[in-house]
Each structure stands twice: as structure tokens, then as C-alpha cells.
Chain A
């Protein structure tokens, strides 16, 4: 922690604008990760003969994907113009890249899930190939959102850009594996249990490292609303990881671990989101690091 440095500002007003994004966006960050992780687990379950996990994973991916789409469209200033995202493909815009990644992922995840539903049994033969394609794109779905936040002037997001992708894929893995621990038969969930613990450990480790690399912007992860989200996230994720170790011995422990990991992932997304918003609102996080940068340059 850096001691509060003296700095000047214009009437204490922000230098930057906080994003106009609402809770739709952290909700999407969570659901997108859940969908991606679920598709990976569903494909693995399908290929290793775990029908319960396959079904849970595919349906969870579809539900989370639907929720993601709703949240993303709802957050637009003109929701009816959402399709303007498809006018261009811009590698300099993580949101454009994300649009195309989701466009490549969504249909395959949806077809794989549809085969699990009563009215769409004729799609069953497409389940495996679609599920495998969805799983191949899924890691990009889970990690691009870190670039989406990092590629802004918002101090707590930009300064976190090295570790944020690891935090987000860890969070995605923990959430999706957590859901499996809650819903799938314990006889099948060995891989989910391992992914749950590994995801939670990665989430905790990446967050720990991130805080040490982002300078004073890390303060926003400890204060106010963001601080509460992050503390809750750490407690839930750690609980989930420990409970997850015994998840296959007890149905109750499995459900408990899964619920804690889902909650931890959700809190992480809201915490990171809120920390960024706060770092943009306080001119200290803009002026002080830039002054230090100038001073170092001489």
C-alpha cells in the first residue's frame, strides 16, 4: 500500500468518466464465464460417458448464454440497434472481437443444448460435434472479457490487465464446475470437482498477484462496495475450494462447495467491476500514478 500522495485536481472532480455500464455488465461477466466453463465440462463429459454432467453442462451453457445476451442488449443505450455490432470486425475493439467470439460460440452451444430438450431430439446427432466446437471457442469467451475491461483508461481495470484474464478464467472454471457439483450426480463429478478446486485456486492466486501489480489502484479493491464484494468473494471461493476437496464423499458437501464457488465467482465479477468504477471517479487514481510516471521519466 502506498501512502496517500499529495495531488491537485479540479474541485476534486474526476479526470475520467466511469463507464456508463450498469449491473448488467458484471452479471454478463459472470454468466459468460459460467456458459464457457459449462460448455467445456459438457464436452468433456460427453466424450467420457458422463450423461448427467453432459446434460447439466449443455443446458447451463444455454441458460447462461441466453442471460448473457439479454444483459448485453439491455445495457445498450439503443437496444434495438444491437445488430450494429455486426457491421464491422475490429481487432482494436475487444467488444467487437467479443461479439464475433460469441457469434461463433452461441449457435453451437445452443444446438448442443437443444438436443437435450424434449422437442428437439432430432438435433441429437449434432450434439457432440456442436458441443466440441462450442468447447473449443469457450476459452476465448471466458478470457476476452478481461481484455474488454483492461482496454480502457479506467485505472483499476487497465492496471490489472496482466492478471485479469487468469482471474476471469479461474472464476469461470470455478463457477461452471460449482454448478456441476450442485446439479450432477456425484458418481460423475470427479472432473468437475478437480476443476472446481483448480479454478478456485487460480482465482485466488491471480487476484492476490493482481493486487500487487496494479499500484495504488489496488486500493479500490479494499474500500467501499468493491471491498465488500471482494472480501465476500474470497471467503466464498476459499470455502468452496476446501469443501470441494470432499465433494465426492457427501452430496451435501458437494452442493455446498458448488454454491459457494458460484457465489464467489459472482462476487468477484461485481467486485472487479465496482473497483474500476470507483477508480475512475476518484482523480487520485488518475493523477498520482501519471505524476509518478512523469517523475520517473525525469
Chain B
């Protein structure tokens, strides 16, 4: 069992926590998730750019990019294992390997964006996800530097819907209300993006890692499944085939508000210093 942040947020008898398990080992980089997300959520275009980074031209998650497929082309991994090709045969099976991964908001158990939001626009849903209320957000931008994954951003673009407001994946909050699967997971043809109850997804993910290790893929590892990590575990976690930073993910993310009590203490001490100093300079003669 995992902690349910919906309970901590005050929901009475919430449904099971929902999330994504993205198994990058079966991602084929089709970008159906990116398209489905844009279509369902009416997310405006994020530019027709050529970025020169393999098949990735959407670049990064942002105000108008709520799903982002990453493409990494790597030289072959030499495991020092006996070759599978016949002696004397020419070449190996492949001269490089693809890593593809569909990135998304992590819907953290301890969500910094939500913690620092000064208007209450960001809130914890009954499904344990984190959503921006676009009619409340005033575009202060505090959530943007607070996110340890660089997910949420203010939407830019002259005259576009919700311009200047913080925007990100809602885990299709509207679809969840109707018992539907989020658009990206629904459109994923290989079930790389799996949606469901987080507890069940974690069990499934553990089995999948075991299976891959058995099949000779020792690099397979889970990312963000541990409820004891710096963000209390991710609502959207991943199976990766390399180190997190290869995919542009932080290797050891920590929710910044973990240090907030200490920060307030230091600020209080500094304020007291200023007050004492101001009193002292008037007490010290002409």
C-alpha cells in the first residue's frame, strides 16, 4: 500500500490513486501520445521547429507540450557477452540502439508546484493527481522554477488560449471523471503508456523489470516508483533502459519545500538581526 496524497489534501473517501506507468522498453516513438494529448486537451501548437535532436522536434515539456517523446540514439552496449552472430558472419545485428520515452508531468506525491502556488490554482484532485485551475491561475510563474523536473511552464504565444497561465498535464481530469483512460494512454499502440491504479501499476512494473532482467536486459530499472524518494514517489513513473539523466530526468529529485522549515528559521533569524541592528544604531549616540 502507498500513501494517498488525496487523503492528505482533505478528500473524504477518495477513489484509488491514479497514475501512469511508462514502460520505455516498448515505446516505438510514434508520438501518438503527443497528438492525442493535443487533440483531447485542445493544446495549441508548440512551434514547427527543427531541433536537430534525432526525431525530437518538440524539445521539452512546457505550457503547450504536455506529452513529449524523447529520442536517444546510442552506440551499441557491449556487455562482454558471447556474440549472438555466427562465427565468420559479417556485421552485428545493429550498430546502435534507440531509446525512446514519452515524458509527462510526474504528479508527485509531494508536489512542489502545488506547495508554492500562491493562489490555490494548483490543487490535488481526488485521484491524487495535480491540476491547474485555469480560471484561478494569475500567471505568477512560481510553480515553474519550483518543479524539480522542469515540467510546468507558462504558456506563451500571442493570443493563444490561456496565454500567460501555468499549464501542464491534467492526467485528463475530465476523462477520469467519466471513467475513461487518459487520451495519451488510450492512443498508445504498444501499451508503453499504461494507466491505472498506482498500486497495481507498481506491481506490474516490478514484474516487468524482473522479466527484462531475465531476458538479458540488465539496464532496465524503475524511476520514481519508490515512495521513499525525495518527492515521495511519482504518480507517473517510468521503466528506463539507462541512467535518468540520459533521458533528461534528474537522478535524485527532491521537493524543495522539504527544506522550507529550515528556510523560514533562517529568514526569521535574519529578520531579527535586521531589527536588532536597526535598534542598536539608534541607541549608539548621535
Contact = CB atoms under 8 A, between A and B. Distances in A.
Interface of A: 7-11, 13-21, 36-37, 40-41, 44-45, 47-48, 75-79, 81-82, 84-85, 87-88, 90, 92-96, 99, 135, 138-140, 142-144, 146-147, 150-154, 157-158, 161-166, 168-169, 172-173, 190-192, 194-195, 198-199, 202, 276, 280, 283, 286-287, 290-291, 293-294
B145 interface: yes
B278 A158 contact: no
A16 B248 CA distance: 9
Contacts of B212: none
19 contacts: A9-B245, A17-B153, A40-B274, A76-B139, A77-B140, A84-B136, A143-B267, A146-B270, A147-B260, A150-B263, A151-B259, A153-B112, A153-B148, A161-B262, A161-B263, A165-B267, A169-B273, A194-B280, A283-B248
Contacts of B246: 8-10
Interface string B144-178: 11111111111000000001111000000000000
B245 A147 contact: no
A142 to B, nearest CB: 6
A153 B119 contact: no
Given A17-B145, A19-B144, A287-B245, A153 B267 contact: no
B140 A76 contact: yes
A92 B154 contact: no
Contacts of A9: 245-246, 248
B109 to A, nearest CB: 14
Contacts of A15: 149-150, 245, 248-250
B271 A142 contact: yes
Contacts of B251: 287, 290-291, 294
A139 B274 contact: yes
A82 B138 contact: yes
A78 B154 CA distance: 11
Given A10-B246, A82-B138, A17 B150 contact: yes
Given A147-B260, A150-B259, A199-B277, 16 more contacts: A13-B248, A16-B150, A18-B145, A21-B141, A44-B281, A75-B140, A87-B119, A93-B116, A152-B112, A161-B266, A163-B266, A191-B282, A192-B281, A202-B277, A283-B248, A293-B252
Nearest to B140: A76
B255 to A, nearest CB: 9
B140 A19 contact: no
Nearest to A154: B145
Which 5 A/B pairs are nearest by Cβ-Cβ distance? A77-B139, A77-B164, A10-B248, A165-B270, A139-B271
The secondary structure that dominates the A interface is helix
B247 interface: yes
Interface string B60-81: 1010000000101000000000
Interface in B100-120: 112, 115-120
B248 A195 contact: no
Nearest to A162: B266
Contact of B146 (A36, A47, A152, A198): A152
Given A10-B246, A166-B273, A194-B281, A99 B144 contact: no
B286 interface: yes
B121 A13 contact: no
Point out which of B59, B154, B275 has the most chain A C-beta atoms below 10 A from its C-beta: B275
- What interface size band does chain B fall in? 35 or more
Given A19-B145, A88-B118, A139 B59 contact: no
B256 A168 contact: no
A188 B132 CA distance: 53
B157 to A, nearest CB: 12
A256 B275 CA distance: 26
A191 B285 CA distance: 8
A40 B149 CA distance: 40
B207 to A, nearest CB: 25
Contacts of B215: none
Contacts of A195: 277-278, 281
Contacts of B163: 77
A92 B139 contact: no
A169 B270 contact: yes
A90 B118 contact: yes
B117 to A, nearest CB: 6
A32 to B, nearest CB: 13
A173 B145 contact: no
Interface in B77-102: none
